[in-house]
Structure 1
Amino acid sequence: MNAAATTRDARGAAAQDAAALDAAAQDAADRAARFLDLENAPFTLPGSRILVRRTDGRVTVRLAEYERRLDDCVVVRALRVFGADGRVAEIADVRPESIAFDGGATLTFDGQRALSLGGGSRWTVELTVPGALDTTHAGGASGAWAPGLPSAAEASWLATGADDLLVREVGGDTVVRLSFPGGDGAQLRIALGASTAENAEASHASGTPHASALAATTSVWADWFARTPRVRSDLADLTAFCWWVLGANIVTLPGRGDARAVVPSKIGYVGLWQWDAYFIAAGLRHGAPELAREQLALAFGFPTPDGQLPDVVHDDGVLASSDDLPPGDRDTLRRAGSSIADPSAPIPLTKPPLAAWALRSLEGLVDDPAWFDEAWQTVAHSQEWWFAHSDLDGDGMPEYGHPYSSGLDDSPVFDGELPVASPDLAAYLILQDDLLASRARSVGDTAAAERHAARAERTLALLEAMWDDAAGFFRSRGAGTPLAAETAVSLLPLLTGRLPGRIVSRMLEALDDPARFATPWAIPTVAARDADFSAERMWRGPVWVNINALIAEGLAVSGHADRSRELIEATLRLVQHAGGPHEYFNPLTGRKARTATTSFGWSAALCVDLAVRASG
């Protein structure tokens, strides 16, 4: 075969590969679109803070801000579209790239900080914005208002091709009504953080009429969906939606050089929480390992001098102690803080030590040895912090000095006195020392390997001393006193893979007991027989995907691979039954708990991870 023929064949194969990739991306987008209802799943774009939702029957535009409720982040209170006949145009379809209204008009993104409405035959739009318009262009084609939000002190609208305008004040809000003849030249552009002049300049510079904005947004989502991991056919819909959630939850952090953080949820959790970053990276690694690495880089990027990793990395800084909270929250936190800690001193806030667990999952997927070397050093330093600064009673077993640091804020193990020695923390520390020892051996650091291995053995002995043989579970201790509550943290020592067989057998009995953890939809975070069990209250009974995933891993490393696979399949069925990756689930009904957030990052990421594992 000559060179020309070889080149033609290569081009043909590349074209076929590209076509297959495009088809796969389109298929994933179509599957995800089935879940997009503007309530549980808002309309948004990777990297953008804009959320379009349906609230009380109205389409609203809000911003995702750190530590602010969506009700306090309104940019457009109501957006209504009317058809050529003057009637309200109902939403006909919602896709990742657009919201289609009856009559053909569509809403899409025009970059990360603007929305574009256009297309169709004649249509009218009515915007209700909070407060008064600050300016109105002399030609009547634009206006601006002041949402006063961190991500958008200003906002503006710019109309192209409108042939009618009406502005009126209603109850302190401003209603803008614009009519358009339709077609490619008709566009309403809503821009955040921009005056009318800046909006016009951006629109002119980008040269993006509505059709071009729609094409660009479609391309963004197509690139994302092209990375969707391949799974079994019965898991394809759920996986596509979970992959959409991960893309939808990407925000940029301006205070961090526009770093990309995949937040727990744009509905209420806008920042990079350390624990969430670990679980989210576990899912992202299957299609976007570099983005997974970015999450760990942010989580590892701001340790204190003594090695503590912060609880949260956000727009304006980090949350690593009670001093990083607003004054009112700070006072409340200190009143609830450890009795051993000085109540006038800051309380360290972090998250459980699963850093090595997350870092291990990326090895072999990201080619950057220098970064891994530095990351492992950071993890080793953070491990030292737990033993040097969080062993609050000096018995060799670190404790949680505050519920925030556990990730299980409302668990009944924190109803008593602090600090709390908990079997989950012991298990994480053992696992982390084991992984650090393995890493040290791989780079020839025998002394470090022996040090980590010896400490893991000591911690394991302390953990086994927490086993209550009469009760049949590991008991947490509050300020040294054994606690009555039986919770799912008593199951997490399975992660060590080193428990005596007799203890593992008793733990399997607990998992099989309907009065304990064999609820209709398992695994509840508090045993059903426990006086503190609640099917709805956060961490007091509902099922969490991350706990299930960790227990499934624990079952596998403890010699019960079949039980692990069963739990993985049951967890995926739960999320399918509930309609998506919510924050937590009622263990009796298998539905979203009433107060749980929807489109939740770690639930989505771990469902992706579990679906890939189940499909292997």
Structure 2
Amino acid sequence: MEKFQAAPPDSFCALLKDRIDLINIPFTERGSRLMVLRNEHSLAIRLAERWLKIDPRLSGYRFRPPLIENLVICDENEQPLPFTEVITYPHLIEIHTPKGEFVLTFVDPESLLLTLPPEKFGLRFTVHVNHGQTDRRGGVLHMLGDIRRNIAYTTDRPLAKNQITLQHPYEINVTLLFEAGPSSAMLFNITPRLGFNRYVPDPQRTLNEALQRWEEWFRAVPPVEGIYKAQYYYAWWIMRAGLISTRFYTTREAMVPSKPFYVGIWQWDAFFHALAYRHINSRLAQDQFRVLIDHQREDGMLPDAVHDEGTITHLDFPVDADVTKPPILGWAAWKLYESTHDQQFLKEIYDAIVHWNTWWFSQNDADGDGLCEYHHPYSSGLDDSPLWDEGMPVTSPDLNTYLYLQLEALAKIANVLNLDQDARHWQSQARSLLLRMIERLWDAQAGLFWPYREGKPVRILTPFSLFPLLTGNLPALIKTALVQHLTDSTEFWPAFPVPTVALSDPHYDPNQMWRGPTWINVNYLLIEGLERSGYPKLARDLRQRTLDLVNRNRDIVEYYHPETGNACDKAAHVFGWSAALFIDLVLQEQSNIPENPDTTTLSEIPRPS
């Protein structure tokens, strides 16, 4: 293959040169389950698949060895060669060695092409399967049994050596020596299918096609210039790289929260992801809803998550209960409608939202006070929050705020669909719910909405006590008290707000998931709450602080240290909703208008006579 230009200087791929570090950030492709990573002078290929047959733990896939590992380039004496330089772009990896340059790219979601220099050299790699057979052009490797793993390696270069050695029951070593000859390529096809791709395509054309796929994606997004440009397009890289193709229960093309960390479609993650996709592809945004609605239970509950092998709707740890996620379906669906004005989609999902809403109020009000409770910590999305330390169920202000927003959205959707009686019903329900929240959860002396467990307030200071700001309909004194807490530098307003437990609370731990770090979705919701409650300047301030927090880190991660602004060590990398909401906030900042131009609140909707 002739020397090529990896990416034109003015291309989006050139803008993202070396953003993929191959350590925390894998090289991957839209729809692919393959992730290429680096370990100094070798490569590995991991699979973004859960497969409980291999490991029954929900997160067992994080700890499995790569399917292919220790892929090293050797000299003609089979001695490993160093990687003198590795350069990454969204569409390829360049690997420079004493034997020349190798380039790795995707042919399709299941096939990787490695270009080969003309010198004589070797390759070695280990595959975690239990059967293999060589042939003239390479070899075929299988995992025989219940777990289907098929790998084919194929080259158009003459081979001086092609050897497969069974090292352990599930470990095969492959050794190849390539004869000197014209530049050529080697194809890796990794698939659960019975059929293989063993057609070695033209390398230059394949590289051009890979570049074109990414450039077309970036050209389709709303353009952004300025200080957020590089991180904005990197966020859009995450939004494409995080997509997985349909398979089994994964009925739609959908985005996982993080291919290296969270393999599955989690409910509220999917709805946050859709807020970014609405700016580029309405069908893709809608499919993030459909993949959950496809698995809605008969009683109306939506699953916590959808995996290839099934759904998660019940867990027996840390308590034994049904598990779902916060009810933001209606709120997010209305945002899609504001962008697309697609009434057909509202007609498609209206009954599902109603069914979902009914489940919450019919199955999650054990004490009959008209407010809903979380019965499993994970249903809150705030898995390890100290709010749940003393047990469940908990009547929480964030949950009932989400339900208010859902009722509000149902009223607006019903109005669009000319369902006047429904609209009046949802309006009435929302007003009643807000009054009950104020009556039962508001503590005037503390100036906060407290969660309640067994009739007693859970006096742990978190921003979820401020979430009723999202209703936009609180009395002035209540709004003022909540905003005073939010902007208190000893509580929720450090250098990089908003911590998920107040700095002044003894439970505060800035490094532990939901016990202190700053999460982008929490900030996003509070920004909207400030705008709806009449604090546009403060909303802009929080938006700018949030953008600067994400922008100052090279990767976009799950959560951040609220005092230093650094990515927390335990946080998942290439994190979906952080990227999606960063995108949406950048576009808000660029337009300099409130995120939700429809500022209509229920108080302004005519009351039924």
TM range (shorter): 0.7 to 0.9
**Which residue of the other structure, out of 151, 157, 165, is the alignment partner of 2:153?**
157
Q: Shift in Å at residue 431 of structure 1?
A: 1.2
Q: Shift in Å at residue 604 of structure 1?
A: 0.5
Q: What residue in structure 1 maps to residue 55 of structure 2? A: none
Rounded to whole Å, the distance in 1 between the matches of 2:467 and 2:568 is 23
8 Å contact from structure 1 (residues 160, 185) kept in 2:
no
Amino acid at match of 2:185: Q
**Which residue of the other structure, out of 585, 595, 600, is the alignment partner of 1:610?**
585
Q: 1:247–1:125: structure 2 CA closer, same or farther, 3 Å change rule?
A: farther
Q: What residue in structure 2 maps to residue 376 of structure 1? A: 350
Q: What residue in structure 2 maps to residue 496 of structure 1? A: 471
Query: Is 2:305 aligned against 1:321?
Result: no
RMSD: 2.5
Amino acid at match of 1:157: Y
Provide Cα deviations, 1:113-138, integer angstroms capped at 9, x if missing partner: 12111143426353322457623334
Amino acid at match of 1:160: D
Rounded to whole Å, the distance in 2 between the matches of 1:407 and 1:513 is 25
Rounded to whole Å, the distance in 2 between the matches of 1:182 and 1:92 is 23
Query: Is 2:399 aligned against 1:425?
Result: yes
Q: Describe the SS at the equivalent of 1:444.
A: coil
Q: 1:523–1:77: structure 2 CA closer, same or farther, 3 Å change rule?
A: same
Rounded to whole Å, the distance in 2 between the matches of 1:449 and 1:213 is 54
Q: What residue in structure 2 maps to residue 271 of structure 1? A: 264
Moved more, 420-429 or 74-83: 74-83
Q: What residue in structure 2 maps to residue 408 of structure 1? A: 382
Q: Describe the SS at the equivalent of 2:245.
A: strand
8 Å contact from structure 2 (residues 250, 308) kept in 1:
no
Q: What residue in structure 2 maps to residue 285 of structure 1? A: 278
Rounded to whole Å, the distance in 2 between the matches of 1:177 and 1:212 is 28
Moved more, 472-481 or 549-558: 472-481
**Which residue of the other structure, out of 39, 42, 47, is the alignment partner of 2:26?**
42
**Which residue of the other structure, out of 570, 595, 600, is the alignment partner of 2:570?**
595
**Which residue of the other structure, out of 2, 13, 32, is the alignment partner of 2:16?**
32
Q: What residue in structure 2 maps to residue 94 of structure 1? A: 88
Between the two proteins, the alignment pairs up a number of residues equal to 569
8 Å contact from structure 1 (residues 45, 248) kept in 2:
yes
Q: Shift in Å at residue 81 of structure 1?
A: 2.6
Q: What residue in structure 2 maps to residue 7 of structure 1? A: none
8 Å contact from structure 2 (residues 463, 486) kept in 1:
no
Q: Shift in Å at residue 74 of structure 1?
A: 1.6
Q: What residue in structure 1 maps to residue 188 of structure 2? A: 190
Provide Cα deviations, 1:85-136, integer angstroms capped at 9, x if missing partner: 9732334310111110112210111211121111434263533224576233
Q: What residue in structure 2 maps to residue 175 of structure 1? A: 173
Q: Describe the SS at the equivalent of 2:283.
A: helix
Moved more, 228-237 or 104-113: 228-237
Rounded to whole Å, the distance in 2 between the matches of 1:304 and 1:600 is 28
**Equivalent residues in 2 for 1:518-537, closer than 5 Å:** 518-537=493-512
8 Å contact from structure 2 (residues 117, 183) kept in 1:
no
Q: 1:361–1:127: structure 2 CA closer, same or farther, 3 Å change rule?
A: farther
Q: What residue in structure 2 maps to residue 574 of structure 1? A: 549
Q: Shift in Å at residue 84 of structure 1?
A: 8.4
Amino acid at match of 2:368: G
Amino acid at match of 1:318: T
Q: Describe the SS at the equivalent of 2:496.
A: coil
**Which residue of the other structure, out of 126, 131, 143, is the alignment partner of 1:129?**
126
Q: What residue in structure 1 maps to residue 69 of structure 2? A: 77
Amino acid at match of 2:91: E
Moved more, 425-434 or 139-148: 139-148
Q: What residue in structure 2 maps to residue 5 of structure 1? A: none
Rounded to whole Å, the distance in 1 between the matches of 2:413 and 2:19 is 42
**Equivalent residues in 2 for 1:418-497, closer than 5 Å:** 418-465=392-439, 466-497=441-472
Q: Shift in Å at residue 230 of structure 1?
A: 1.5
Q: 1:368–1:459: structure 2 CA closer, same or farther, 3 Å change rule?
A: closer
Q: Describe the SS at the equivalent of 1:110.
A: strand
Q: What residue in structure 2 maps to residue 219 of structure 1? A: 212
8 Å contact from structure 2 (residues 46, 67) kept in 1:
yes
Q: Describe the SS at the equivalent of 1:33.
A: coil
**Which residue of the other structure, out of 296, 318, 340, is the alignment partner of 1:303?**
296
Amino acid at match of 2:485: A
**Which residue of the other structure, out of 476, 480, 503, is the alignment partner of 1:505?**
480
Moved more, 572-581 or 365-374: 365-374
Rounded to whole Å, the distance in 2 between the matches of 1:386 and 1:519 is 35
8 Å contact from structure 2 (residues 398, 468) kept in 1:
yes
Rounded to whole Å, the distance in 1 between the matches of 2:8 and 2:587 is 20
Q: Shift in Å at residue 254 of structure 1?
A: 1.1
Q: Shift in Å at residue 170 of structure 1?
A: 8.7
Provide Cα deviations, 1:378-415, integer angstroms capped at 9, x if missing partner: 11221111111111221110110111111001111101
Query: Is 2:528 aligned against 1:553?
Result: yes
8 Å contact from structure 2 (residues 137, 154) kept in 1:
no
Q: What residue in structure 2 maps to residue 541 of structure 1? A: 516
Rounded to whole Å, the distance in 2 between the matches of 1:542 and 1:191 is 41
Q: 1:184–1:524: structure 2 CA closer, same or farther, 3 Å change rule?
A: farther
8 Å contact from structure 1 (residues 486, 530) kept in 2:
yes
Query: Is 2:101 aligned against 1:117?
Result: no
8 Å contact from structure 1 (residues 250, 263) kept in 2:
yes
Q: Describe the SS at the equivalent of 1:116.
A: strand
Q: Describe the SS at the equivalent of 2:149.
A: coil
Rounded to whole Å, the distance in 1 between the matches of 2:334 and 2:377 is 27
8 Å contact from structure 1 (residues 543, 587) kept in 2:
yes
TM-score normalised by length of structure 1: 0.87
Q: Describe the SS at the equivalent of 1:214.
A: helix
Q: 1:285–1:560: structure 2 CA closer, same or farther, 3 Å change rule?
A: same
Amino acid at match of 1:445: L
8 Å contact from structure 1 (residues 126, 178) kept in 2:
yes
Q: What residue in structure 2 maps to residue 586 of structure 1? A: 561
Q: 1:147–1:93: structure 2 CA closer, same or farther, 3 Å change rule?
A: farther
Structure 1: gaps (5+ residues): 1-21, 323-329, 338-346
Q: 1:186–1:148: structure 2 CA closer, same or farther, 3 Å change rule?
A: farther
8 Å contact from structure 1 (residues 46, 248) kept in 2:
yes
Rounded to whole Å, the distance in 1 between the matches of 2:524 and 2:484 is 19
Q: 1:149–1:548: structure 2 CA closer, same or farther, 3 Å change rule?
A: farther
Rounded to whole Å, the distance in 1 between the matches of 2:282 and 2:95 is 37
Q: What residue in structure 2 maps to residue 18 of structure 1? A: none
Rounded to whole Å, the distance in 2 between the matches of 1:56 and 1:33 is 19
Q: Describe the SS at the equivalent of 2:563.
A: coil
Identity, in percent, stands at 31
8 Å contact from structure 2 (residues 272, 577) kept in 1:
yes
Q: Describe the SS at the equivalent of 1:499.
A: coil
Q: Shift in Å at residue 500 of structure 1?
A: 1.4
Amino acid at match of 2:335: S
Q: Shift in Å at residue 504 of structure 1?
A: 1.5
Q: 1:194–1:318: structure 2 CA closer, same or farther, 3 Å change rule?
A: closer
Amino acid at match of 2:380: S
TM-score normalised by length of structure 2: 0.88
8 Å contact from structure 2 (residues 143, 150) kept in 1:
yes
Q: Describe the SS at the equivalent of 1:583.
A: coil
Q: 1:203–1:166: structure 2 CA closer, same or farther, 3 Å change rule?
A: closer
Q: What residue in structure 2 maps to residue 14 of structure 1? A: none
Provide Cα deviations, 1:437-462, integer angstroms capped at 9, x if missing partner: 12223333232122211111121112
Rounded to whole Å, the distance in 2 between the matches of 1:611 and 1:143 is 47
Rounded to whole Å, the distance in 1 between the matches of 2:571 and 2:140 is 38
Rounded to whole Å, the distance in 1 between the matches of 2:184 and 2:155 is 8
Amino acid at match of 1:359: A
Q: Shift in Å at residue 56 of structure 1?
A: 6.4
